[in-house]
Structure formats: C-alpha cells, structure tokens
Amino acid sequence: MKRLRRHGQESQRDRIKQELFQFNKTVEHGFPHQPSALGYSASLQLLAIGTRSGAIKLYGAPGVEFMGLHDENAAVTQVHFLPYQAGLVTLLDDNSLHMWTLRAHKGLSELLEIGRFTLTGPPGAPPSVTRVTAVLPHSSGELLLLGTEGGHVFIVEVPGFREVEERNISLDQVASSVPDDYIGRRNLEHVEALQENPVDPDQVVIGYGRGLMIIWDLEKRIISNYLSYLLCIVWWTDDGSYILSSHSDGSYCQWIVGREDVNEEEEKSDIPYGHFPCKAISKIVQLPTKEGPPFLLFSGGMPRASYGDRHCITVIHSKTHVALDFTSRIIDFFVIKDGPQNTGDPSALVVLVEEELVVIDLQTAGWPIIQTPYLVPLHSSAITCSHHISAIPLKLWERIVATGDLQNTHYSKKPWPITGGQNLAPDPPQRDLLLTGHEDGTVRFWDASGVCLYPMYKLSTAAVFQTDTDPNDNMNQSTEGEWPPFRKVGCFDPYSDDPRLGIQKIHLCKYSGYLTVAGTAGQILVLELNDETAEQTVEAKVVDLLQGQEGFRWKGHTRLDVREDPVLFPPGFQPFALVQCQPPAVVTALTLHSEWKLVAFGTSHGFGLYDYQQKNNVLIKCTLNPSDQLAMEGPLSRVKSIKKSLRQSFRRIRRSRVSLRKHHLCCTGFTGLLQDANARLEAELAEMELAPVQRKIEARSSDDSFTGLVRTLYFADTFLSDSSHNTPSLWAGTNGGCVFAYMLRVPSIEHRTEEAVTAQPAKEIQLMHRAPVVGIVVLDGHGAPLPEPLEVAHDLSRSPDMHGSHHLLVISEEQFKVFTLPKVSSKMKLKLTAMDGSRVRRVGVAWFGSSRTEDYGESGLMVLTNQGDVHVVSLPTVKMQVHYNCIRREDVSGIASCVFTKHGQGFYLISPSEFERFSLSTCNLVEPHCLIEAPLQSGTSTQHRPQPSRARCIQSAARRVMEHALLNDESEYSIVRRTRELKL
C-alpha cells in the first residue's frame, strides 16, 4: 500500500515537472564571435555570416534568425546563396562544400544541411589541384563553378553536387588558347576570381593569381577574350560592358568587353592613393545610378607606409570621396539596391568587420549610419557584469526609450534595409530589460523582451570622475582637407582609459526609477531618472571599511578623483550620491531598497549601509580576517604566493593521508568489528538506492584567502527579535561562511527626512563547513519568497504572510540550509548531489507558471554550478526538482557571467560578444518563429541569353516545383500532379 501511494506521489510530481519545467537554449544575442565570411541574397533579402568555429547564421527582418553548425570543426571561408532559391552553399577551410536549405516544417522555416561535397582529383594529383579558392553560383541556379589552387575550374550541379566533367575548364585548355607571351610572362597559378556577365550568363570571367584574366564561354567552351594585370579581384558592371579589376599595387583598371583586340593602353587605370606604394585593393564594386555618376567602392588601397594599418573602405560618388575608417579588420562588404530584385539605385552599404556589422545609408546626405536592430556589438567595451529586470512598468519604459532617442540623433532615419522573411513570433508578454556593465564605466540598457536584443540607452559614469577621457572627443570628426579623407565609423572601442571605471555591480528598482552602480575602485553611485539636462556637483562620502584597524596597508590601485566643478549631465540617469569605499577595492555585492531609501554594498574588507535620502552612513562592518593579507593587495596585484599555495596543497594531502591511515588501522587492528562495519555498509548502500548520492562536505580552513569577502546582501522585513514583531533587516553573507543580520529602524514617511536610520546587530551565523555564502532568501508564512520593494504597493504582488513563522534560506557553495526565524535554528538542508566537486555559482528566485493551467505556478530556486549544470530547487521544501546540462564545465567565463530572470530564463556569455539565452520554464520561451518563402520567379536579364531546349525548361521547372513543395510541406501526390502538368 505504501509502495502504491509512493508511486502515485512520484507520478504526480513528474506530471507537475512536465507542466512547469523544460530546458531549451532559445536564441543567441549579440555579434558572432570571430566572423570569417559574409553572404547576401537579394531575392530572399537575407544576410548570412559564417564564423571560424563553423557556425552559419542567417538574418532577415528583425526577429527572423536562423543558425546552423557544421559538424566539422573548421572555419567558414565563403558563403554563397543560390540565385532565387532558399538555399546556400558554404565552403570550409578543410576544402569541404556544404549545401543548406530553408525548409518549412509545421508553418515555420528551419535551416537544414542537406548535402556535403569534396572535390576529388585524379589519382596521384597534388592536393592543390582540388583546393577550392573561388566559388561562383551560376544564375541558372543549377551549376556551381569552383576555381581551385591548381588553376582548374570544376563545374558541379546543385543541389546534388554531381560533377559535370565534360564542362570542366582545365588549365591545359586555357594555356593552349592564350598566346605564348602571356603564358611566358605570367604563370596562371591559382584561380583568384570568378564573375558572371550580368547580361549574358554564358560568359564568365576567370582571374588567375598572377594577373591573367580570360572570358570563357560556357556554351561554346572557348575563350572569347583575355586580359592581363596584377590581379586581386574582378567586378563585371551591370550593363556587361566593362570589367573592373583591382590589383596588388593599390590600383584598379577598367576593361572594355566585347572587342576582339583589346589594347591595354586604351584601358583606364588609376591608383586612388598613389604616388607612394599602396596596399592591395582586396575588393572593388561599381554600381550605376539612374541619374548621375556611378558609385565606386573598394576596400584597401591605402598608402603602405603612412596608413597601412588602417581598415578602410573608400566610397566615391560624384564629387564626394570618403575613406570609411573601421576599428577592426574588414571581412567583406556588399551593397543593397532599391526596388524589387535589387534593380534600383544603391541604398545601403553593409560592411562586416571583425568586431561589428556597420550599415551606411548611401541615399542621405553625409552617408550616416543606420542603427542595427540585431548583431549589435555587446562588447564595444568589454562586459564586466549583467543585471536583468522583468516586467518593466510602461511609464519607466517610455522614459528610457525617449532618453535613448535623444542619444541617437546622429543615426539615419531610414528603416532597416534587410527585410527578408516573416516574423511569426507572438508579441512579448512583458517588457524586460538587460543591463550590462562595461570596462569603460558605461551601463547599457537593452530591450530583452523578444528575439532581438535591441539597444535602448547608454549611461556613462566617467563624467563624475577626473580621467584622461576627453568628453568632446568625437569619432566621426575629420580634419578639413585631410588626405585620404578619413571618417571614423563603428562603435567598437575595447580600450579603456582607466580600468578603475569598470562597472562590477548594478541594481535597478523598476518602480521608483532609482539605479545604483558600483565599480572596480570601490565607487558606488546612486542615480535617478531625469528627463531634463541638469548641472550639478556630486560629492563623495568616504567609508572606511577597515575602521582604523592597524597592521593593514592597501597595495592596490588608488581611488578615482571626483570632479570638483559642476558637471552637465544629459537627460537620463543622473548621479546625485556617491559613496567611496576605503580601501578602494572591487565592490563584490550591492543591493538597493528604494522604499527605505537605502543602499547596501560590500567588498573584500567588509560591508556598509548608506542612506541616500539623507546622504549619511548608517552602518560600517569590517569582515577582514587578520590572517588574510591577500585582501589588501587589490585586483591588479592579486596573486597567491607560491609558498602559501604549496602549504595549502600539502595540508589537504596530509589530511587525506591521515584519514586513510585511520581507516586502515580500523580495518586491520579491530577485526572483531568487521561484521558490524559490513552491516553498516549494507544499510548505507540501501539508503543510497533510495536517496541521491551526496558528496561529503569538507570543512574549510579559517585561514583561507578572502574569508571576509562579502558575497551577498539582502534586505528583508521579517522577525528577528521575537515572533510577534517584524522589523526591517539587512543580511550579509561572506566568503568564509558567515552570515550577519542587522535589525534596522526606518522612520515613517512623515519623519523620514528628519530622523536617522539606525542599525544594530541582531544575529550572526557561522556555517560549520565555512563554505562561501552565495545567496540569502527569507520565506514568509506560506513559504513564498518575500516580494521586492514597492511591489506590494503597486499591486503587483500579494502581501507577505506575517502570521506564520518565517524561514531563512542560506545558500552556500556546498548546500542549501533552512533556519527558522527568529530563533535561527536549523530545520532542513539539502547537500549538492554531485560526486565530482560541484559548487554553487549562481542562484535566483523565479516563478514557474504551468503550461496547462494559467492560474497555477510555483516559486523555485534556479541554481548554476561550477560544472555548468542548472538545477531547480523547490521552495519551501528545498528538494531538487530538475537537473539539466547547460554550460560546458570548461567555460569558466560563461559560468561566471550567468544571470537569471524572475520568470525562469537565463543569459550567459558564450563569447565576449554573444549571450546565449536559455529557459527552464515551459510557458516562458523567447525564440525565433519565422518563415521564408522561396522566390519562384527569376529576375535576371534574359536579353542575350540563348533559349534553352524544351526538355531543359521542363527539368528546371520540375526542380523548382520540387523545392517549393518541400519548403511548404506539400504531399507527394501534389508534387507528382504538378510535375505531370508541367510535362503536358
């Protein structure tokens, strides 16, 4: 009977788990790490980026995103969309070609790899014969031309990757058709470029590494023309009358096409930035306009000695000549045109550089930048911390948006030019903010409600302090008459003028609009949102956390100097209070209670409480251990001595050997107790079958480093003195397993400005195992976590139960322990169930709603370990609910950067520039839902194209019918019927 009852309870618990918890990695935010290739489809209006790690990412209209990953751990070197098809081809640096398609499934598109191919040469041929260097998808959509390092051009059919050997262009064919003086002067070498004639798809220009260019007729299989220069890349103009070739000496040349005898002296050659030696022009594009001269764009070509380290794209149109100067290496670029099928005037220049994507409006005077709705470089300054706020009130949201709009007046008003696909995701149920702190002292506000992590507002704290930063420095400024005419573009600027400005902790109250940020040099700023410009002086309140203790000398960096003159702060969050910790160590914990007007902060030396309404210090507590000298060295000189490290290691080894020796003596010297030992062992094994395996917690030495470092701070209105009177309180947890509780007296609102806030010590808990305390939560009489400040006042949460007894949940790196209040007696605990040294790294309270019943949900504790696993622990029973593998255990930075949300989601950095978003909730998912429809019509010009045979027309149409049917999940009967209609 008990077994049946237990089985029923387990099945009910499993059912609830399925309703509440489900792990999904949903979307990646930010800029792809180490991009290596760029592609664009004018017919699909899709952008593709390949990376060195083998990822391929597609972007269309905001919210339309796809991601694929090659099985091979190789870099993507080229990306090419197939003309007028929902497919693309990628080339990896292991010489493999991969076919991808966007296939519809249940009304949504998904990116799938449908084939792979590697060129195979004749037996005994060197690898260079089949090493692909250039790829050209033919406009017919049926052929792929592959130029190789050996000089051959192979032709394969797609999507099946079948080599058409009879149509290959061998090096011997080319050499036999070109005059001897061309071959003698210049070796053909590898194929550098392949380009199709825009008006005659049977003509293809092939450019070889040493400069020979030939125009090959695919239908007649002969050379129709040949040209010669030191080649880098070629471009065939839209009307087919000219070929532009760029060269390794920084020049470009315009060749006339269609004449049998081409005189090189008649061709137009130019070195834009001569007369001194210049770097190669790596890519050149010339695009006509309906009225006026064409656009000429090229990358590189800078004078080698003076500006060889610049990453530039030059744009020339009429009398306007600009050298766009980027802050990182240029990967590739393309130009988007107006009108259907990209047939109008050039409208936008899209440039992929190593650290960001820059889009420039070519139709507005001054060529301003278009703000990107995605692919924003999160790491424009290195990210140092993150903070997430759920369900932002509309009024605060609108004020932040309006403030951000004032900062973005230099951007173009044109809409985002890449508009492919349909975003079918539902509107976000709430407004969420993600705040990121950066090394340069900025805090950036991101709209994290949907798939696109959109920039809203940037706050800079550097203006408060005396630094080397010039506030009038403008990246877009250029000197009049400068040559080349440089113009700085892009926002990637990883260099910080002063590392002490780095933001370490952020806390925003969404109801009051108060924001507090803390930095590397012990500075804590309290800010409020102001819609108007204000000029004011911010005075620093110095807090001595050592409280005059002798024998300590700070060896770290000095504190930041505050500006004495009034500072003009723009609309937005403006500082009105500043606390400066002394010593100026990194702030390790921070929390804000906007209802009580209090800020609590902690460092490796202690913690303090600050009243930002009266601008007074309420509490200062030193937690520094006398034996902890490393806490006085600061983050820039924090290096353990070799002697101390070896000493601690030998102590651990000695302790383990002593325990093993004792165990050995017990087993050999007291043989009479073996039976009892075996009986106990069998009993323990029986318990292990019913309960999860729990690792023994090893007590930590009190002389370990940084025992006084404050890890967590928590405000609570609970019972400390007796069970009948609740009072405001502050809780602090340290790295040495110590919890301090202070009882606060906060005057009423009427007397808040007159009477001072006071604090007196109430409780102190020392965990036996001395593991670092990473979280503190107080549970009310119903076992629910206490609401946030002002949450009840805004009718967004029920009032906490003050009739039943409260409980204190202390989360250390080793275990979860529940104490009763106010007696602080241990009630229950849960050890971390791992055998391989797991430690708790992040915790957060979240609400998990049911996917089946709207009015049901549970509060749970989200936990991340140093193994990269995420757990959900039930409240108040403190039982493990679910366990998922989330982050690789080797990814230390990813684990350290993780932040949880209040609704069961999380973010962590998978690279310096990308957040991975995941969800543990069944009803709270933010992921792309989009559809791509394959274009069925062809927009290429057929003026000079030979008419194909009827059989070829039927074959091509049938293939398109098949692709369209697969993309839209049509039945086999429908495919057969439509194919028969084509043949009739």
Residues 832-880: pLDDT tens digits? Answer: 865 567 899 999 999 999 888 888 889 999 999 999 999 999 999 999 9
Q: Tokens 């009892």 map to which residue? A: 676
Helix or strand or coil: residue 977?
helix
**What is the dihedral sign for C-alpha 956, 958, 959, 960?**
positive
pLDDT band per the 50, 70, 90 thresholds, residue 266: very low
Mean pLDDT of the chain: 85
Confidence check: pLDDT of 559 > 80: yes
Confidence check: pLDDT of 743 > 90: yes
Helix or strand or coil: residue 893?
helix
Q: Which residues contact 439 (CB under 8 A, 6 or more apart)?
A: 381, 382, 384, 494, 496, 499, 501, 502
| pLDDT at residue 852 in the model | 85
Confidence check: pLDDT of 940 > 60: no
Q: Give the chain's end-to-end CA distance (angstroms, integer).
A: 73
Helices and strands (H, E) in the chain, number of each type:
10, 62
pLDDT band per the 50, 70, 90 thresholds, residue 980: very low
- Residue 267's H or E segment, with its range, is none
Highest mean pLDDT pick, 64-68, 128-132, 546-550: 64-68
Under 8 Å between Cβ of 281 and 246: yes
Higher pLDDT, 457 or 704: 457
- Residue 938's H or E segment, with its range, is none
Helix or strand or coil: residue 443?
strand
Q: What is the mean pLDDT of residues 140-166?
A: 92
**Angle, helices 674-690/642-669, rounded to nearest 10 degrees:** 120
pLDDT band per the 50, 70, 90 thresholds, residue 631: confident
| pLDDT at residue 735 in the model | 94
Q: Tokens 């539902």 map to which residue? A: 426
| pLDDT at residue 230 in the model | 59
Q: Which residues contact 244 (CB under 8 A, 6 or more apart)?
A: 234, 235, 236, 237, 252, 253, 254, 255, 284, 286
Confidence check: pLDDT of 682 > 70: no
Q: What is the mean pLDDT of residues 179-207?
A: 82
Per DSSP, which regions of 191-303 are E strands? Answer: 191-196, 203-208, 212-217, 222-228, 231-236, 242-247, 252-256, 268-270, 281-287, 295-300
Nearest of 271, 263, 355, 256 to residue 314 by alpha carbon: 271
**What is the dihedral sign for C-alpha 932, 935, 941, 947?**
positive
Higher pLDDT, 175 or 52: 52
pLDDT band per the 50, 70, 90 thresholds, residue 460: very high
Confidence check: pLDDT of 761 > 70: yes
pLDDT band per the 50, 70, 90 thresholds, residue 274: confident
Confidence check: pLDDT of 414 > 90: yes
List phi, psi (to 5°) of 682.
-65, -40
- Please state, in angstroms and rounded to a whole number, the distance separating the CA atoms of residues 757 and 767: 29
- Please state, in angstroms and rounded to a whole number, the distance separating the CA atoms of residues 585 and 588: 9
| pLDDT at residue 445 in the model | 98
Confidence check: pLDDT of 643 > 50: no
Q: What is the mean pLDDT of residues 446-473?
A: 86
Considering the chain, what percentage of its residues have pLDDT values greater than 90? 62
What is the pTM assigned to this prediction? Answer: 0.86
Amino acid at 681: L
Confidence check: pLDDT of 18 > 70: yes
Q: If you ran DSSP here, which 8-state letter would residue 379 be given?
A: T
- Please state, in angstroms and rounded to a whole number, the distance separating the CA atoms of residues 890 and 892: 6
| pLDDT at residue 12 in the model | 63
Cis amide bond preceding 583, omega within 30: yes
| pLDDT at residue 125 in the model | 81
Helix or strand or coil: residue 145?
strand
Q: How far is CA 707 from the centre of its chain?
A: 33
Q: If you ran DSSP here, which 8-state letter would residue 410 be given?
A: T
pLDDT band per the 50, 70, 90 thresholds, residue 252: very high
Helix or strand or coil: residue 108?
strand
Q: How far is CA 783 from the centre of its chain?
A: 36
Nearest of 620, 621, 609, 615 to residue 745 by alpha carbon: 609
Amino acid at 572: G
- Please state, in angstroms and rounded to a whole number, the distance separating the CA atoms of residues 354 and 351: 10
Confidence check: pLDDT of 2 > 50: no
Higher pLDDT, 127 or 715: 715
Higher pLDDT, 650 or 598: 598
| pLDDT at residue 938 in the model | 45
Confidence check: pLDDT of 64 > 80: yes
pLDDT band per the 50, 70, 90 thresholds, residue 478: low
Virtual CA dihedral for 706, 711, 714, 718, nearest 10 degrees?
Answer: -60
Higher pLDDT, 749 or 674: 749
| pLDDT at residue 640 in the model | 38
Q: Which residues contact 235 (CB under 8 A, 6 or more apart)?
A: 195, 243, 244, 245, 246, 284, 285, 286
Lowest mean pLDDT among 115-119, 643-647, 775-779, 861-865: 643-647
| pLDDT at residue 838 in the model | 87
Virtual CA dihedral for 883, 888, 893, 897, nearest 10 degrees?
Answer: -30
Q: How far is CA 427 from the centre of its chain?
A: 22
